[in-house]
Amino acid sequence: MAPTWLDQLERNLEDRLNAFLRANPDQDRLLREQHLQDRQQDLNRRRDQMQSQAKDLRRRLLSLAEQVQAWSERSRKARAAGAEDLAERADHHVQTLMEQGRDLWSELETLGCAFQGLDQQISDLRQQATQQNQGRSLDEDWALFEARQELEELRRRQGLD
């Protein structure tokens, strides 16, 4: 299938951006650094969400454990009083609560594995950013500093600050 006008436009814009970045390595560096910062912020946001989910799951597990304990005690009381039917219903409820607890525990384990993966991504990004910064010469750092200063000046002049 022939490329559409939108595909051609996108390719043209991408070619122009690449040409601009080749001609302005400082801007390319700024763009890469901004991309790393944005990615790290996104990962940190996801990490915070996962921590909140884990906290909620732990709270729900504790609540279920308290309910299991309470209903187990009720079952014992009913059995001791000879109310076997009531004790059986309480036992059934305890089993249902325990199944819910196993499901929540499984969910918490899955979340823990995802959290470890996310932590590894964050660590990799930090290492990548550190390597990028260490790989620059003093001249490159100075050029980057000047580019940032110029960008800030442009923002101030255009009232974007």
Q: Give the residue-averaged pLDDT of 60-64.
A: 97
Select the more confidently predicted residue: 33 or 15.
Answer: 15
Question: How many helices, marked H, and strands, marked E, lie in the chain?
Answer: 4, 0
* Domain-embedded: residue 24: no
Q: Is residue 156 part of a domain?
A: no
In degrees, rounded to 5, the angle at the alpha carbon of residue 153 between the alpha carbons of residues 151 and 156 is 110
Other CB atoms within 10 A of residue 90 CB: 21
Would 141 be classed as within a structural domain?
A: no
Q: How many domains is the chain built from? A: 1
CB 144 within 8 A of CB 136: yes
Tell me, yes or no, whether 111 lies in a domain: yes
Looking at the domain assignment, is residue 96 inside a domain? yes
**The pTM is what?**
0.64
34 lies in some domain: no
Give a yes or no: residue 42 inside a domain. Answer: no
Which two structure tokens, joined as six digits, stand for 62?
């504790």
pLDDT at 108: 95
Domain that holds residue 111: 47-136
Task: Summarize pLDDT for 27-57 with one digit per residue, the tens.
Answer: 888 888 888 889 999 999 999 999 999 999 9
Asked whether residue 76 is domain-assigned, the answer is yes
For 149-161, what is the mean pLDDT?
Answer: 76
pLDDT digits (tens, 9 = 90+) for 72-114: 999 999 999 999 999 999 999 999 999 999 999 999 999 999 9
